[in-house]
């Protein structure tokens, strides 16, 4: 099913955040079937359980991709599927969102812990703060912030918190190294949540994989530049596919 791409969204924003990109992809490549699938809503934070859940829900033998947390989960799923994944695309997805001793290109652990505590105690305030961070670095941050508020699902705070715990645990570096299929990883140059240095770190980890940095763009560059991203994704899919 090389004509099918399944995309997973980022934390807390739902599939509406990916609709402009999906629409641009469909317009530029009418033969491509683009499916947006929501993140799991599970009451546990077992990473393998999340990946197994997605494996049951997402069609096999398709291109996998996602934005931020969605891209990290897509990476883990691609590794699990191996040859039964056509290829992988990630957008502003840090291999490890939280900084580690051997991966300094992430959020400080204590900062993330404060964010998680806020999600548990004041979820609506935390989501608003998160949307602001997503728009920081954009050319028109206020416009982008309004866009990010459209179509946000009314997710149970329990599921929001468990998703953040999964995000903290995920380290997809080994999965990306193990997955032999084509990969494209795009980062935002002015991202307030994923340091631009993560792109260089990933390039050093995967020298034979395509890694790109979109200058002057925010974490929510999927909404800022849907047409430009769609053009790059289309080229990647066709260059890496059968044609």
Domains of the chain listed by start with CATH number:
4-240 (3.40.50.1820)
Per-residue pLDDT of the chain in tens (243 residues, 90 and over written 9): 589 999 999 999 999 999 999 999 999 999 999 999 999 999 999 999 999 999 999 999 999 999 999 999 999 999 999 999 999 999 999 999 999 999 999 999 999 999 999 999 999 999 999 999 999 999 999 999 999 999 999 999 999 999 999 999 999 999 999 999 999 999 999 999 999 999 999 999 999 999 999 999 999 999 999 999 999 999 999 998 754
Extract the tokens encoding 41.
Answer: 């809503």
Catalytically active residues are: 68, 191, 219
Q: How far apart are CA 232 and CA 209, in angstroms?
A: 15
Confidence at residue 1, expressed as pLDDT on a 0 to 100 scale: 57
Q: How far apart are CA 77 and CA 17, in angstroms?
A: 21
Element (H, E) at 124: helix 123-135
């Amino acid at each position: 099913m090389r004509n099918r791409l399944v995309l997973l969204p980022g934390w807390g924003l739902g599939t509406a955040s990916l609709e402009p990109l999906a629409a641009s992809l469909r317009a530029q490549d009418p033969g491509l079937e683009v499916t947006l699938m929501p993140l799991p809503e599970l009451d546990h934070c077992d990473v393998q359980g999340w990946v197994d859940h997605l494996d049951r829900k997402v069609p096999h033998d398709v291109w996998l991709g996602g934005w931020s947390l969605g891209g990290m989960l897509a990476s883990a799923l691609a590794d699990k599927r191996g040859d039964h994944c056509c290829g992988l695309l990630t957008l502003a997805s840090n291999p490890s969102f939280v900084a580690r001793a051997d991966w300094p290109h992430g959020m400080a652990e204590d900062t993330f812990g404060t964010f998680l505590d806020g999600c548990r105690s004041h979820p609506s305030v935390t989501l608003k703060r998160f949307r602001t961070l997503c728009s920081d670095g954009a050319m028109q941050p206020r416009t982008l912030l309004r866009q990010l508020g459209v179509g946000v699902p009314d997710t149970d705070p329990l599921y929001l918190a468990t998703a953040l715990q999964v995000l903290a645990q995920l380290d997809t570096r080994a999965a990306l190294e193990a997955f032999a299929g084509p990969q494209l990883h795009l980062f935002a140059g002015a991202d307030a949540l994923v340091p631009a240095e993560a792109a260089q770190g990933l390039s050093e980890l995967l020298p034979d994989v395509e890694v790109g940095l979109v200058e002057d763009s925010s974490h929510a560059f999927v909404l800022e530049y849907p047409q430009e991203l769609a053009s790059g994704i289309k080229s990647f899919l066709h260059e890496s596919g059968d044609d």
